Amino acid sequence: MPAIDLPLPELRAYRGSSPLPADLAAFWDATISEAQQHPLDARFERVETHLPLIETYDVTFAGYGGDPIKAWLHLPARGRGTGAGEKREPLPAVVHFLGYSGGRGLAHQNTLWAQAGYAMLIMDSRGQGYGGQVGETPDPHPSAGGVSYPGLMTRGLLSRETYYYRRIFTDAVRAIEAVQAHPAVDATRVAVHGVSQGGGLAVAAAGLAAGRVDGVIACLADVNFLADYQRALEVATTGPYPELERYLVRHRDHVDAAFATLPYFDVVNLGRAARVPAYFSVALRDTTCPPSTVYATYNNYGEAVDGASPEPVVKSIEEYAFNNHEGGGEHHVARQLAWLSKLLG
């Protein structure tokens, strides 16, 4: 399979094509502040998975608009022969965000980070769970913004107020607050993680948490989605980005409105505000999340959005030269486990 994007030296220098809205921070300040007016009301109900080394809780918390968002919380089990009230040191946590169309799944399905000794919160993606793993969280705003192409990329697209990703990005920030609310968690040591859409959500959460929610210490973003939309439409041939193209094929008069909305939800822009170490991955033959869009995210990550000159943010990226959207797969997971372990000492 041939290379599908820019030559590698150009990729490594590519910074993206998305405009940076002057009122980006003000828009998100208002959005997150409004969400935080609703009590978080994080509830944790123990469930049985028959996995004796993992404690699992069914979680509900208030996301965008106070809407109830589901999640799983997995903890390494307490030692055998000790009571439920056993005291232990607070655990660092990993908040895991899901790929496009997937939901949180069944309680036993994904416990990797808990196996590694962390608290692991898996946030359900509102309105998703129709592909991959099952989901349980509805989006009570499905008709916001009028008609859309099947899928979620164009839902509410014509206004930044109604766009679908305004809601799920806000949910992601509140998911950090939800895991911090559990007494077993060290609220000062929370990492955000995801692949594809989940990688985009991790970058968005790291950027949006900066100055708004304390305690985030790391961002692990694999082959991230939701970046440099104009470039993605020029290169991506598979996955969700073409939903935008198919919508605009019929709605020729909506092009300007769509591209006025999208920069507010471009993680190239949102990640610039992040102040925590990051570990990215990119697949150089990825037709779903083209490498140029991932590099645009990476190259802008950790830069100030207000013209200031902050201390450099520690970041690195793994390149998988022959892989499509599967990226580094299990090999990259092993590297992530080592990277986070080293970061936490």
Q: How would residue 80 be classed by pLDDT, with cut points 50, 70 and 90?
A: very low
CATH number at residue 14: 3.40.50.1820
2 located within any domain: no
| Residue 266 scores a pLDDT above 90 | yes
| Domain count for the chain | 1
Domain residues for the domain of 321 are 8-80+88-344
Distance CA 102, CA 128 (A): 6
Q: What is the dihedral of CA 270, 182, 87, 78, to 10 degrees?
A: -90
Marked catalytic residue, from 148, 196, 281, 292: 196
Marked catalytic residue, from 141, 286, 292, 332: 286
Distance CA 10, CA 99 (A): 27
Q: Is 196 a catalytic residue?
A: yes
What pLDDT, in 10s, does the model give residues 112-149?
A: 999 999 999 999 999 999 987 899 999 999 777 778 88
210 located within any domain: yes
pLDDT at 311: 83
Confirm if 140 and 63 have CB atoms less than 8 A apart: no
Distance CA 214, CA 186 (A): 12
256: phi then psi, degrees, rounded to nearest 5: -65, -45
What pLDDT, in 10s, does the model give residues 270-302?
A: 999 999 999 999 999 999 999 999 999 999 999
| Residue 31 scores a pLDDT above 60 | yes
- Number of helices and strands (H, E) in the chain? 11, 9
Instruction: Give the mean pLDDT of the chain.
Output: 94
Confirm if 75 and 119 have CB atoms less than 8 A apart: yes
Q: Is 182 a catalytic residue?
A: no
1 located within any domain: no
Residue pointed to by tokens 């993992």: 54
| Residue 81 scores a pLDDT above 90 | no
3 located within any domain: no
192 located within any domain: yes
Q: Is 325 a catalytic residue?
A: yes
